Amino acid sequence: MLLSELKDKIVPKIALYGRPASGKTAFALSWGSQTEVIDCDPVGVGVGLKLEDRLKPERLQAEIFQAKEDNPKLAVAFNKVKSRLYSISEEAVRGTYKRKVLVLDSLTALGDYAKRSILANSGSLEKNANLTLQQWGLALNELEQCLTIVKSLPLAVIVVGHLMVQEMDSVNMAKMWVIGAKLPDQLPAFFNEIWYSDVKPAAGGAVDYKLQTRLSPSIMARTQGNLPDGFNMSEGLQKALATIGYEPAIGAKNV
């Protein structure tokens, strides 16, 4: 294979993170009819119902797979997410998966569910116990397995996450929040796109929702597909993916 032939085979794996109310989930839902959302965040996709804009009718067509903890005495959400990821992988291999985009909302919540799952497996969930060092390792391994499945899928995947600020060389650096001391620094290995959602003041007291796609001294971001820095999120996910060259036929087999 020539290097010139590789571009068409790169499938975007996107980490999308930012502050609360910065438009992350609404943007990720905006190609609704071609999107499946694994909804495991406490706030989750409900924002897609409330935001009134031109993309709302499309967002309402997104397929939602819910995986949340409804009973504080049980830990089932993580295994539900992991099982669904395996099912999507199998459907994609068979060519029967019909959506063009998978959204996981959010990695932050999934990390918490991984911890709960490990505590439940050891019988410690109801004791409200802290994880031992060994259990931390098991939880991180489970989360990394999910990210490995995501990385291997032959379709575009957006993993939504919350914001954390970490001091590096006396500078505060914004990164995606995830459990563990080392995993936040390892996240770029799982994604070829890292987009930071930001809110900018606009004329007349309005606000603009923008994507930062270039690394800065205080923001972790990058784009392999050359999405313009400052991309207007009101353009929608379909436009963003087309800009970086992702326009698959329906059915992951044809990606």
Cα(207)–Cα(214) distance, integer angstroms: 21
Q: Is 245 exposed, middle or buried (0-12, 13-18, 19+ CB in 10 A)?
A: middle
What CATH number does the domain located at 3-254 have?
3.40.50
Cα(68)–Cα(118) distance, integer angstroms: 16
Query: Whose CA is closest to 213, among 234, 238, 186, 192?
Result: 192
pLDDT at 249 over 60: no
Output the six-digit token pair for 93: 């291999």
The pairing of beta strand 171-176 with beta strand 156-168:
antiparallel
pLDDT at 231 over 60: yes
> What does 209-230 look like in DSSP terms, one character per residue?
EEEE-S--SSB--EESS-PPTT
Give the domain ranges of the chain: 3-254
* Residues belonging to the chain: 255
Output the six-digit token pair for 245: 């060259």
36-83, pLDDT tens digit by residue?
999 998 777 887 778 888 899 999 999 999 998 888 888 999 999 999
150-163, pLDDT tens digit by residue?
999 999 999 999 98
Output the six-digit token pair for 242: 């087309």
Cα(246)–Cα(239) distance, integer angstroms: 10
The pairing of beta strand 13-18 with beta strand 156-168:
parallel
**Share in percent of the chain as helix, strand, coil (round to 5):** 40, 25, 35
Q: Are 106 and 146 in contact (CB under 8 A)?
A: no
pLDDT of residue 107: 94
87-124, pLDDT tens digit by residue?
999 999 999 999 999 999 999 999 999 999 999 998 88
CA torsion 162-178-156-218 (nearest 10°) is: 60
Cα(245)–Cα(56) distance, integer angstroms: 24
pLDDT of residue 253: 43
Would you give the DSSP letter of residue 3? H
> Phi/psi at 195 (nearest 5 deg)?
-115, 135
Query: Whose CA is closest to 240, among 229, 251, 254, 249?
Result: 229
Q: pTM value?
A: 0.90
pLDDT of residue 125: 85
